Amino acid sequence: MSKGLGSQSRKTEENSMDEIVNVEAVSRRFSLDTAPTRHSARTFVSALTSANMSVSAGEFLAISGPSGSGKTTLLNLIGCIDRPTSGRILVDGVDTSQLKPNGMSKLRRERIGFVFQTFNLIPVFTAAENVEYPLLVQGVAAGERRARVAEALESVGLSDRAGHRPDLLSGGERQRVAVARAIVHRPALVLADEPTANLDTHNATQLIDLMHGLNRRLGLTFIFSTHDARLLEHTERIIRLTDGEVVSDSSAQGGSHE
Amino acid sequence: MSKFLLLAFRNVFRNRRRTLMTLFMVGGGVAGLLLVGGFFAYMYNGIREGSINNGLGHLQIFTSEHFTRDEVRVLDTGIDNWREVAARVKTGAHVRGIAPRIEFYGMVSNGVKTSVYMGSAVDPEAEKSLGFVTKITSGHDLDSKPSGEVEALIGSGLAKSMNVQVGDGLTVLAMTSDGALNGVDVEITGIVNSGMKEYDDRYLRITLPSAQRLLQSDRITNLVVGLDATKNTDSVYEALAPELRGQPQKLVLKKWIDLATSYNQIHSLFNTIYLFIGVIVFFMVLMSSVNTLLMSMMERTREIGTMLAMGTPRLWIIALFMTEALLLGALGAAVGLVAGNLLASVIDFVGVQLPPPPGSTEAMKFYVFHVPALMFASSLLVILSMVLASILPAIRASRLQIAEALSHV
C-alpha cells in the first residue's frame, strides 16, 4: 500500500481486500464548447455512462469495444489522469475522488504503471534510462535503481539493448521497454491503452505473451484496452463497452468469452 | 539529480538547428555587449589617463577651506607649509612625484585691451617629471629658472583675443592677499591649444615664483600627486588621507575622479547608453526565447503528458524547462564570450580608425578592451533573460491536462 495518501481516502470497505480497482457508477461527460457564452447552454458529450466494474489483484483484464466506446476514458479514470463527472473509483483501496492533484500524482507514481499505444518513451533517454525514470521520480537510490532496471529489462528480454535510444529500437522493442518502465517500480496495477495497436502480428504476439507471462509470474494486475482479437484470445476476462456503457463482463457471464 | 540534468542537457540539443539559432542569438547579444562595453572601457581609460597626464594627477591636496574660498584672494586659503607636506608625501609608496600649483584669476592687458584669465602657476620641472604634457602650438614651454622677464604661456583663444603672439608682452593683474591690486609684466613664450575652446580662451600659465610674486604670498593652492599607476590611487589615498588630517593646517586629499568633471559626465552618459543597449539585448533574448521555448514545449506535449502520467511532480516539469533555459543561456553566453573576445582581438590587431570626435582634430582608434567584469555581467544578463523567458512555457507545460496531452498529435 502506498504511504501518505491520506487516511480520508483510504478504502473503508472490508469485503473487497483483494480488489485492486472498484469502479462505482462512474460517468464522464466532456464539454464540446471551447468558449461558451453567457447566454448559450453548454453542449456535452457523454464518454462513459454509469460504469460499474471491479478488478481483483492479479487479473489480466481487457476492456474491449469499438473506437469511441469509452475504453481510453475508462482507463484514464482508473489511472487517475482524469476525474469522473460522477461516481467514484477505488484504486488499491484508495478513493481517488477524495484525492487532491498531488495525491493523484503520488498514487500514479507509486501504484500504477502505464503502457501507451505510441510507446511514449523519452527520446533523449536510452532504454535503461527510460526504464529508470519512474524510480528516479520516486527518489529511489542509484544503486537500487540500477539493479531494478537491469531486472526489468531482463524480464522483457532487452538486457542487450539497454544502452540504445528509442530511435534505434524496433516498434516491438520500444513497447517492451515501455512495459519494463511500467513494471520497474512494482506497481499494484498496470494500465495499457491499445498496447498492440502499433505493432505487427509478430511483435504483438510477443508483447501479449510477455504481458501474460509477467501477469502469471509476478502476479501483476493488467488492465488494457484493445480491440485486437489476438490479445483478446489470451485474456481471461473481457469487459465490453459500447457507446460509453458496459454491455458485457465475461466474468459475470462465467468466463465464457472464449 | 544528475539524470535530471542529463535529461535537460540532452533536451537542449534535441532540435539542433533551433538550438544553434538560439545560441547564435544569445551569443550575438553577449558578443555585442562585450564589443561595445570593451570599446567604452577603452574610451574611459583614454579619457581618464589623458586627464591625469594632462595635469590632473592622481591625487591633489588642498586646504579644507579651498572649496569654499573667495575666488578673488585665492591664496588666503592656500597651503602654508607645502614644502614639508610635499617632502613627506613624496616618500610614500607608489608616489612618482609632486607638483605644486597656484590656481588664480585676474585680468590681463596688452595696453589697449583687457581680458579675464584663469591662471595656473606651476613648477615646470615638477610638471615635466610627472609627464604632464602641455600642447604648445608655437613657442616653447616655461623655463624653470628664467633669467629676465617673467615668462607666460597663454591659450590660443586668449592670444587671438589680445592680438599677441610669442615674444610679445602682457601685463598680468591679480588681487593680493591683503586686497591690493598687483601686476607683473610677462613675455609670452608659447601659445597653448588644448582643444577645448572655453579653456583656451582664458588660459594663462606662469611659473610658481612669478605667481607668488604677483600674489604676494609664499602659499600655493594645491599639490598635485602623480602615482606609478592609476590602479594604486585608492590604496595611496587610504594611506595619505589620515596623515594629512593630522597636519597643523587641515588638509584634504582628493582623488582624480573627484576632480575630473568632464570624465564623470562622459562616463555617466556612456554608462547610460550601455545600460540602454543592455536592456535592448535583454528583451531581445527574452522575447525570442519565449517563442523558441514555447515551440519546444508544444512539440513535447505528449512527452510531458507521459511524464506527468508517471507521477512526475509538476514542479519537476517547471524545473526541467528552467534548467534547459539556463543551460541554453550558459552555452549561449560561452559562445558569445568566445566570439566577442575573438572579434575584439581581431579588431585590436587590425587597428580600425574612427573619425575624430566632436571638438577634436585627431582620429580615434576603435580599440576594444577585454573586461572580465563585462564578460561576467553580460553572461549573467542573457542567462537571466533566458531563465525568465522559460517561466511561461514551464508553467504552461506543468499545467497540461494529462489526458489531453497524451492524445496530442
In this predicted structure, which of B19-33, B63-77, B253-267 has the lowest mean pLDDT? B63-77
ipTM of this predicted structure: 0.88
Lookup: cell for B334: 560561452
pLDDT of residue A79: 94
Cβ neighbours of B310 in A, within 8 Å? 108-109, 114, 133-134, 137, 181
Q: Is B330 exposed, middle or buried (0-12, 13-18, 19+ CB in 10 A)?
A: middle
Check B303 against A123: CB less than 8 A apart: yes
Where does residue B171 rank: exposed (0-12), middle (13-18), buried (19+ CB within 10 A)? middle
Q: Please tell me which of the candidates B4, B14, B313 has its beta carbon nearest to residue A105.
A: B313
* Mutation target among A124, A146, A179 for the B interface, most CBs of B within 10 A: A124
- Domain ranges in chain A? 54-249
| Percent of chain B topping pLDDT 90 | 60
The CA distance from B145 to B123, in Å, is 10
Considering only CB atoms, A124 lies closest to which of B11, B306, B403, namely B11
Beta strands B150-155; B95-109: pairing state: unpaired
d(CA B46, CA A78): 74
Least Cα separation, residue B257 to chain A (angstroms): 56
User: Stretch B72-81: mean pLDDT, rounded?
Assistant: 80
Q: A17 by DSSP, 3-state: which?
A: coil
B399 touching A (Cβ < 8 Å):
no
A94: left (phi over 0), alpha (psi -120 to 50) or beta: beta
Interchain CB distance below 8 Å, B406 and A81: yes
From the candidates B306, B323, B404, which should be mutated to test the interface with A, based on the most A CB atoms within 10 A? B306
Give the one of B11, B312, B403 whose C-beta lies nearest to A137's C-beta: B312
Query: Which pLDDT tens digit goes with each residue over A120-168?
Result: 999 999 999 999 999 999 999 999 999 999 999 999 999 999 999 999 9
- What was the pLDDT predicted at A10? 41
- Nearest residue in A to B9, CA atom: A124
- The model carries a pTM of 0.79
Say yes or no for a CB contact (<8 Å) between A81 and B10.
Answer: no
Q: Does B306 touch chain A (CB under 8 A)?
A: yes
Model confidence over B87-123: pLDDT tens digits? 988 888 899 999 999 999 899 998 889 999 999 999 9
- From chain B, the residues in CB contact with A83 under 8 A are none
User: Max alpha carbon distance in chain A (Å)?
Assistant: 62
Question: How much is the pLDDT for B68?
Answer: 77
Q: Which of A106, A122, A132 sits opposite B311 (nearest CB)?
A: A106
Res. B187: pLDDT tops 60: yes
**Boundaries of every domain in chain B:** 2-51+263-406, 65-249
Mark yes or no for CB contact B310/A134 under 8 Å.
yes
Query: Torsion-angle region of residue B112: left (phi > 0), alpha (psi -120 to 50) or beta?
Result: alpha
Q: Tell me A36's DSSP state.
A: -
Spatial CA neighbour of B115 closest among B72, B83, B151, B160: B160
Average pLDDT over residues B171-194: 89
What average pLDDT score do residues A30-43 get?
A: 70
**Rounded average pLDDT over B137-153:** 81
- pLDDT tens digits along B261-273: 888 999 999 999 9
- The 3-state DSSP class for residue A164 equals coil
Level-2 CATH architecture, domain A54-249: 3-Layer(aba) Sandwich (3.40)
pLDDT the model gives residue A253: 53
Per-residue model confidence as pLDDT tens digits over A179-195: 999 999 999 999 999 99
